[in-house]
Amino acid sequence: MKLMAAFRISIRKSLRSFTYAFNGLREVTRNENNFRFHLLAAALTLSLAFHFPITTTEWLFIILFIGLVTMAEVFNTALEKLVDWQSPERNPRAGQIKDMAAGAVMLASVTALAGGMIIFYKYFVALIL
């Protein structure tokens, strides 16, 4: 009986958590240019994916890449806001932290770009030939 009580889920709390999450996504979409750029890149990638007869595995990788990049950008934005809040004055350590977070987004983006190039290469070559 105690085990069942430990796994009881409150629908109200869960819905509230989703509301907070959607508020965060709305905030980053409205106010972060880089996030909107990544959404545009994701939309273009999805357009290509719908246009070409990509495989299920390729779809999975595209979805994974889009999720990786957008999550990295949201984490970067949150970390930048936290650093700015804790260190509003210019601080070399704060700058290093923000640069590292931005570097993580760049790594995710380059990984996604390379993966996308590998996936779509054969389809573009087929168009040319």
Is 19 part of a structural domain of the chain?
no
Domain-located, residue 20: no
Q: How far apart are alpha carbons 88 and 83 in whole angstroms?
A: 8
pLDDT value for 4: 60
- The pLDDT tens digits of the residues spanning 25-84 come to 999 999 999 999 999 999 999 999 999 999 999 999 999 999 999 999 999 999 999 999
Which of 64, 70, 67 minimizes the C-alpha distance to 37? 70
Q: Does any domain span residue 27?
A: no
Q: Does residue 3 belong to any structural domain of this protein?
A: no
38, amino acid identity: H
Quickly state the pLDDT bin for 100 (edges 50, 70, 90): very high
Task: Evaluate whether 98 touches 79 at the Cβ level (below 8 Å).
Answer: yes
Name which of 57, 102, 55 is nearest 79 in CA terms.
102
Q: Which pLDDT does position 10 carry in this prediction?
A: 84
User: Does 6 reside within a domain?
Assistant: no
Residue 6 has pLDDT above 80, yes or no: no
Which two structure tokens, joined as six digits, stand for 2?
């105690």
Tell me if 28 is assigned to some domain: no
CA distance 100 to 83: 12
Neighbours of 29 (CB within 10 A): 12
Q: Is the pLDDT of residue 19 over 60?
A: yes
How many domains is the chain built from? Answer: 1
Q: What is the pTM of this model?
A: 0.86
Note down the domain range covering 100.
33-128
Residue 41 is assigned to a structural domain of this protein = yes
